[in-house]
A = this chain, B = another copy of it.
Amino acid sequence: MEVTRQNFKEVLPEVCSAVQEADFISIDGEFTGISDGPSVSALTNGLDTPEERYTKLRKHSMNFLLFQFGVCTFRYDQNQSTYITKAFNFYIFPKPFSRTSPDIKFICQSSSIDFLASQGFDFNKVFRSGIPYLTQEEESQLREQYEERRGQINGAGPVSYTPTSGTGSCKVPEDQREFIRTVEQKVEALLKNSDQTLDLEPCTGFQRKLIYQTLNSKYPKGLHVETLETEKKERFIQISKVDEEERRRREQQKQQREQEELNDAVGFSRVIRAISKSGKLVVGHNMLLDVMHTIHQFCGPLPEELDDFKEVAMSVFPRLLDTKLMASTQPFKEIISNTSLAELHKQLRENPFRSPTTECPEGLRSYDTSTEQLHEAGYDAFITGLCFISMANYLGSFLSPPKSHISARSKLLEPFYNKLFLMRVIDIPYLNMSGPDLQPKRDHVLYVTFPKEWKTSDLYQLFSAFGNIQVSWIDDTSAFVCLSQTEQVQIAMNTSRYAESYRIQTYAEYLQSRQKSTHSSRRWTDDGWDASYSTSGSSRLQAVKRSISPSLEEQNHNADSSWTHYSSVKKMKTDGSCSQSYAEVAGSCDWPRLQPDEGGTSVSPVQEEVEPEESSANQNQGKRSRRHKKRKSDASETTPPALFDVPQVW
């Protein structure tokens, strides 16, 4: 069902209870863009290390707005052998709820916007009716401000107009004295006549401040003073004669109203907190960007270091599963040729897979997979969940006896937990959220620098003696070149010794020189990552972690029993009942096939393989345009598995 600012409050309890009851939850986000810096192909270099990839996404993808968020809850009904699904499609927009709330700026990438427009995305609904949100820090700040102001009005709290000399409240400036005198006269008249209220003329905030201050000290009792707005949104003060009880009652009413306004402002963040608190398995398709955006937008700033990000992410979502990674791994990678969400969903409806039966409770609009609504976040979340179920159930066929239903809590799924698909990295299939990342040997990789006129064909020419090579462009004047045999590296190095136009380094040398330059240049990078940030980095991280901690504790508490169960199951693995444990099958997984990919969270065709010939908008792109990209058809031949020594972590 569609959720906007208009029905959010009403729907929220339903969302929360659906989350509570769910066996698992699938999510999907739509963004206003992908990269505000490098082209998408440079953003996703095939030989990025996980740290490099995270750093680039954090720097170049987070200024876009996550403006549609899909949540679909799945609960298995044992009796009916069916999944009860509840899909919610949230429109998100940081409407400043008052003049005091943050005025968010976000970037739009026209290709992404155009792509969503072509998919029928409703921008009016987002911008007119989007649900607001606040991070925990923003919420705390607002609460403090409210309390400070309330203190001022009551005369109880710190007086904000304290002059440095410390002589109490603000002196009425000369040019305001006449104004204040007039107000006092009007109030005197009010107290004497039979009127109950007096509406002053609209005036400035400073004048209102002076009025509050004057009346508070002169008439500590008997008057209620309140700021109201005219139809034209001009603010004016209304003064009412009230007894002390009535005055208190009104103050309380006002406080309640403010509390409610604040809760409204927290808005969609409450959904994320509910999901986090539940500790449930959260499923997404190609979900790294979704997770990053969710934390950045609704929880708090992303940490600078990948390891810190993992820690924060795991405290928000303790169990994640990425269907793109799952589909790219044994035993699925043998059967599934295209892991884009739409294609995956299509293939999983055919043999040897089976579509799960689902049911949607009355009153909730259910998605119909026969009329595709791809790239609507709620729909994408829904079919992501279906894909997960189909693949999970397929794993049951490896059991003896085979099982047709595999629960979201099955240990068969354990190998896929907390491993997020890494788009287009050649030799590292996933980001390992709950441990160290894979460190493939890159002995056969060369780092080549050359004049900016060079094109992919020049590199092919240069290495033509070595048979198949694979080129990953870094920027205009450098690229990684993967040779098919590690022994060729030395030959290439020797040959290049006398070259003048280009230069070759081994991957190890490249890493070393890069680390050096990172250390010396960090202070001068253009995005504020200076030394001072680094030192404050850990305290910022602490703040995020702390802000998430209340729910975290609870979730750990909730999850404790199941996790104990899981770990004991894990220990039992070797003497379990599976004749052919999938965990063992999965152990032989190496890396996903490379293939054109639309990505589950793709908002635009730019995430797809850019076709060389045509993409040459400006100078930089102009030359990149003619690069030779790794092709799907010969991916497995080009990259002999034996070359990569991928540690088997499961």
Most chain B Cβ neighbours within 10 Å, of A208, A609, A612, A627: A612
CB distance from A125 to the nearest CB of B (A): 9
Quick check: B171 and A637 within 8 Å, CB to CB? no
Say which residue of B110, B627, B634 sits within 8 Å of A96 (CB atoms).
Answer: B110
Contacts of A160 in B (CB 8 A): 455, 626
Complex: A645 Cα to B170 Cα, angstroms: 34
Quick check: B105 and A36 within 8 Å, CB to CB? yes
Say which residue of B111, B145, B605, B606 sits within 8 Å of A622 (CB atoms).
Answer: B145
Q: Kindly specify which of A116-124, A289-297, A544-552, A567-575 makes contact with the partner chain.
A: A116-124
Say which residue of B95, B117, B615, B627 sits within 8 Å of A100 (CB atoms).
Answer: B615
Quick check: A204 and B123 within 8 Å, CB to CB? no
Contacts of A163 in B (CB 8 A): 457-458, 461
List A residues 447-465 near B (Cβ within 8 Å).
453-458, 460-462, 464
> Is A611's CB within 8 Å of the partner chain B?
yes
Contacts of A164 in B (CB 8 A): 453-454, 458, 461-462, 501
Most chain B Cβ neighbours within 10 Å, of A105, A464, A501: A105
Contacts of A96 in B (CB 8 A): 110-111, 114, 617
List A residues 335-354 near B (Cβ within 8 Å).
none
Contacts of A501 in B (CB 8 A): 164
Complex: A615 Cα to B161 Cα, angstroms: 15
CB distance from A233 to the nearest CB of B (A): 8
Say which residue of B108, B205, B457, B616 sits within 8 Å of A614 (CB atoms).
Answer: B205
> Is A365's CB within 8 Å of the partner chain B?
no
> Is A175's CB within 8 Å of the partner chain B?
yes
> Is A185's CB within 8 Å of the partner chain B?
no
> Is A562's CB within 8 Å of the partner chain B?
no
List A residues 193-208 near B (Cβ within 8 Å).
204-208
List A residues 578-617 near B (Cβ within 8 Å).
605-606, 609-617
Say which residue of B99, B118, B206, B638 sits within 8 Å of A629 (CB atoms).
Answer: B206
Q: If the complex has contacts A170-B457, A626-B161, are A100 and B205 also in contact, measured as CB distance less than 8 A?
A: no
Q: If the complex has contacts A102-B618, A106-B110, are A461 and B209 also in contact, measured as CB distance less than 8 A?
A: no
Quick check: B123 and A606 within 8 Å, CB to CB? no
List A residues 158-183 near B (Cβ within 8 Å).
160-165, 170-171, 173-175
Quick check: B610 and A99 within 8 Å, CB to CB? yes
Say which residue of B141, B629, B638 sits within 8 Å of A618 (CB atoms).
Answer: B141
CB distance from A126 to the nearest CB of B (A): 8
**Assembly stoichiometry (copies):** 2
> Is A56's CB within 8 Å of the partner chain B?
no
Quick check: B102 and A161 within 8 Å, CB to CB? no
Quick check: B108 and A95 within 8 Å, CB to CB? no
Chain A 135-153: CB-based contact to B (< 8 A → 1; otherwise 0): 0000001000100000000
Complex: A478 Cα to B359 Cα, angstroms: 64
> Is A468's CB within 8 Å of the partner chain B?
yes
> Is A107's CB within 8 Å of the partner chain B?
yes
Complex: A103 Cα to B114 Cα, angstroms: 10
List A residues 605-650 near B (Cβ within 8 Å).
605-606, 609-618, 621-622, 625-629, 631, 634, 637-638
Contacts of A33 in B (CB 8 A): 105
Q: If the complex has contacts A98-B614, A618-B141, are A204 and B171 also in contact, measured as CB distance less than 8 A?
A: no
> Is A9's CB within 8 Å of the partner chain B?
no
Quick check: A93 and B106 within 8 Å, CB to CB? no
Q: If the complex has contacts A105-B108, A160-B626, are A460 and B171 also in contact, measured as CB distance less than 8 A?
A: yes
Q: If the complex has contacts A105-B108, A123-B127, A464-B171, are A100 and B614 also in contact, measured as CB distance less than 8 A?
A: yes
Complex: A360 Cα to B462 Cα, angstroms: 68
Quick check: A461 and B174 within 8 Å, CB to CB? no
Most chain B Cβ neighbours within 10 Å, of A95, A204, A456: A204
CB distance from A375 to the nearest CB of B (A): 14
A-B contact sample (14 more), CB < 8 A, given A95-B110, A164-B458 = A99-B614, A101-B617, A102-B617, A102-B618, A103-B111, A116-B127, A117-B127, A141-B617, A164-B461, A170-B457, A206-B629, A209-B612, A209-B613, A233-B605
Q: List 11 A-B contacts (CB under 8 A).
A: A93-B113, A100-B621, A106-B110, A107-B108, A108-B108, A116-B127, A123-B126, A173-B464, A204-B609, A204-B612, A206-B626
Nearest 3 CB-CB pairings of A with B: A205-B613, A205-B612, A163-B461
